[in-house]
């Protein structure tokens, strides 16, 4: 079996730290989350139930399902995540992908 798709810590971007329990994403600029100015956002690893619940709540809207899940995993308000730059939101998506994929 080939290890071509295996990702190790050396291949992570500088702005991302990943453990089996969480991902820490460094933002391109500070943002306000829950009334606090932050330069990183920590996203915990999701449970299967959380993933299913967000998809069941928004069966026809992948963006809404993702936002519901991310607000829970980041313990952040929807408005706070929506206020992120697109680049920082994409960083969250990439962090999530690393949390749910087997290396």
pLDDT given for residue 5 in this prediction: 41
At residue 44, φ and ψ (nearest 5 deg) are: -80, 160
**For the segment 40-71, what is each residue's pLDDT rounded down to a tens digit?**
999 999 999 999 999 999 999 999 999 999 99
pTM across the whole model: 0.85
Q: What is the pLDDT of residue 3?
A: 43
Instruction: Give the Å distances, CA to CA, from 54 to 5, 16, 58, 61, 84.
Output: 28, 24, 6, 10, 21
């Amino acid at each position: 079996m080939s290890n071509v798709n295996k990702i190790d810590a050396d291949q992570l971007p500088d702005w991302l730290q990943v453990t089996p329990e969480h991902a820490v994403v460094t933002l391109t600029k500070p943002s306000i989350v829950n009334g606090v100015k932050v330069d990183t956002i920590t996203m915990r690893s999701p449970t299967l139930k959380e993933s299913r619940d967000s998809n069941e709540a928004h069966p026809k809207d992948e963006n809404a399902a993702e936002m519901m899940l991310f607000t829970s995993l980041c313990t952040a308000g929807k408005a706070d995540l929506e206020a992120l730059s697109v680049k920082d939101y994409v960083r969250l998506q990439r962090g999530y992908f690393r949390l749910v994929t087997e290396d």
